[in-house]
A and B are shown apart, each in its own frame.
Chain A
């Protein structure tokens, strides 16, 4: 078996950076579509980690997990977009700051 060319810690670091870029996207952006994309980024960061660890352990459970995450992400994107559409269909602008009927 061939050892990994790149230390595992580098993969973790890379994925962590991507993950937190995703998190930052959710926090700072007001466009729900971008928010959904940021969430996709977070999932992808996790996927990268799964696959890197899979390779490190030479255990394909990580692949399966990544596959499941992709499936779920797809379903989530579909439902999320549907909700975004229903929420903003009547509105003239797309801004999560505008949807705050409930608070307190």
Chain B
């Protein structure tokens, strides 16, 4: 059997390739560029690469192409491109934060790693067989292990170690599950998993179960969530920003493709029930976990645990609209998170002061604009209007109700109520009249971070009034 690799195949992974190659360019430019500009050189080159990749992906989306490249290893289509765009946005939003943070001499390397990580995530978005999923995931994760450990803090190295060991363990489950799935279907292609005979095949069931363990770990669903607060806290700020969005987006893409396109018909409800239960638990535990946090990144980790629960609520039931609104909420979540991290970067110095919540005390007076932005993003995460978080929750609620998973909607509401309490504590600290707080002064002169915050702000509002949910995604999942 000979498979011809055509030009179309290469163009399918063009955005991914561009990102991967950009990483090399960044590394080379770092060697060549003078020391005092290499930080901005790296950021600018990376940004250009990402934007070019984004434009190409957008054109692919517009043209409506839909085919499996490399013998079905990578499926190009609306679904993959939408997720690619979200991942690219996450990467762009995180990379610009390097302008405010980090050591000069490692920035180029870090950005290169982040770009490779991005390309891994993008591969996951388009993965059509188990191998691409596995490799994309490993590419994403391996780069992130390194990125986590790059800051010169004990916590950073600790987070790298924790992430490495736990994530590898989860990868072990994932790959073992893949082996069982391969054993069940005799193929590594996702499309082959829809054979009706598999519905009663124990290998398939156990394989899917172990596969989901890996997925749930990456999505940091309870009880596979334990790594994320520690890792988020220890990792450098831009890495946390990136990780909080990109891993989730890529894993969600894999999960969505799996649940929409790789399950024998008729067993979806039963097969996926544990995931919905975990989503429900995550919504509660994630929001509850926020209540007693002292670190912004940790808080966002818990928040992310809950937000993934929201997104899964949209997917529950497997309706076409559910997928659209999951993507909508994912995009909203991306902007809200990136916005919050941009503000955190704004008030950070060399030692990431923006991460500790103690430093937000009295921010409302010292730096009203930053405080206002932070308030906005936190309230958006809580789902207050007029933000995309609000509309996203409405859409998720309506799909969950119409799909027969209203109990998830109710839990979503309960979780949101708890979350507001937690976000409110941060906001309260910002507007507290505490004259004696000894806190770090905001730098607030980082144009890129400002720009990032403003763009996120505008987009979060705009998405409320013009909900640009991708309309033609579902047919392209398969």
Closest residue of B by beta carbon distance from A11? B183
How far is A102 from B227 in the complex, measured between Cα atoms in Å? 10
- Give the interface size class of chain A: 35 or more
Question: Does B149 lie within 8 Å of A86, measured CB to CB?
Answer: yes
Are B131's CB and A84's CB within 8 A?
Answer: no
Q: Scan A75-89; emit 1 where CB is below 8 A from any B CB, else 0.
A: 110011011101100
Give the one of A26, A64, A76 with max B CB within 10 A. Answer: A76
Q: Given contacts A12-B183, A72-B134, are A65 and B146 in contact (CB under 8 A)?
A: no
B157 lies within 8 A of A86 (CB)? yes
| CB contact between B182 and one of A43, A65, A76 (< 8 Å): that residue | A65
Looking at the complex, which of B19-27, B169-177, B437-445 is the stretch in contact with chain A? Answer: B169-177
Q: Is B448 interfacial (CB 8 A cutoff)?
A: no
With contacts A61-B187, A80-B168 known, is A46 near B179, CB below 8 A? yes
- A62/B182 in contact, CB under 8 A: yes
Q: Across the interface, do B131 and A104 meet the contact criterion of CB distance under 8 Å? A: no
Q: What CA separation (Å) do A61 and B176 show in the bound complex?
A: 15
Are B161 and A50 in contact, with the CB atoms below 8 A? Answer: no
Interface of B is mostly: helix
A17 within 8 A of B: no
A87 surroundings in chain B (CB, below 8 A) = 157-158, 160-161
Binary per-residue interface labels of chain B (69-93) against chain A in the complex, 1 for a CB within 8 Å, 0 otherwise: 0000000000000000000000000
Q: Is the CB–CB distance between B135 and A72 below 8 Å?
A: yes
Number of residues from B at the complex interface, CB < 8 A: 42
| B295 nearest in chain A by CB position | A102
* Count of inter-chain pairs, beta carbons less than 8 A: 130
A102-B145 in contact given A42-B172, A84-B161, A87-B157 (Cβ < 8 Å): no
A101 touches B187 (CB 8 A): no
Distance in angstroms from B271 CB to nearest chain A CB is 20
Q: Which residues of B in the span 166-207 have a Cβ within 8 Å of any Cβ on A?
A: 168-169, 171-173, 175-176, 178-180, 182-183, 186-188, 203
- In the complex, which residues 47-76 of chain A have their Cβ closer than 8 Å to any Cβ of chain B? 47, 49-50, 52-53, 56-57, 59, 61-62, 64-65, 68-69, 72, 75-76
B175 touching A8 by the CB < 8 A rule? Answer: no
Interface status of B164 (Cβ within 8 A of chain A): yes
B288 at the binding interface (Cβ < 8 Å)? no
Instruction: List B contacts of A8 (CB < 8 A).
Output: 183
Write the chain A residue with the least CB distance to B177.
Answer: A46
In contact, A68 and B135 (Cβ under 8 angstroms)? yes
Given contacts A22-B172, A46-B179, A76-B142, contact A83 B164 (CB under 8 A): yes
B230 at the A/B interface (Cβ < 8 Å)?
A: yes
Known: A56-B183, A86-B157. A79 touches B145 (CB 8 A): yes
Q: A75-B142, A99-B161, A102-B159 are in contact. Are A83 and B182 (CB under 8 A)?
A: no
Closest residue of chain B to A58 (Cβ to Cβ) is B186
- What is the distance, in angstroms, from B191's C-beta to the closest C-beta of chain A? 14
A-B contact pairs, 6 of them (CB 8 A): A19-B176, A47-B179, A72-B135, A72-B142, A76-B142, A80-B164
Q: Residues of B at under 8 Å CB distance from A? A: 130-131, 134-135, 138, 142, 145-146, 149, 154-155, 157-162, 164-165, 168-169, 171-173, 175-176, 178-180, 182-183, 186-188, 203, 229-230, 233-234, 292-293, 298
What are the 5 A-B residue pairs with the smallest beta carbon separation, nearest first?
A: A42-B172, A53-B183, A49-B179, A57-B186, A102-B230
Q: Chain A: residues with CB nearer than 8 A to chain B?
A: 8, 12, 15, 19, 22-23, 26, 32, 35-36, 39, 42-43, 45-47, 49-50, 52-53, 56-57, 59, 61-62, 64-65, 68-69, 72, 75-76, 79-80, 82-84, 86-87, 96, 99-104
* Extra 6 A-B pairs, beta carbons < 8 Å, given A49-B179, A87-B160: A32-B165, A39-B168, A53-B182, A65-B182, A80-B165, A102-B298
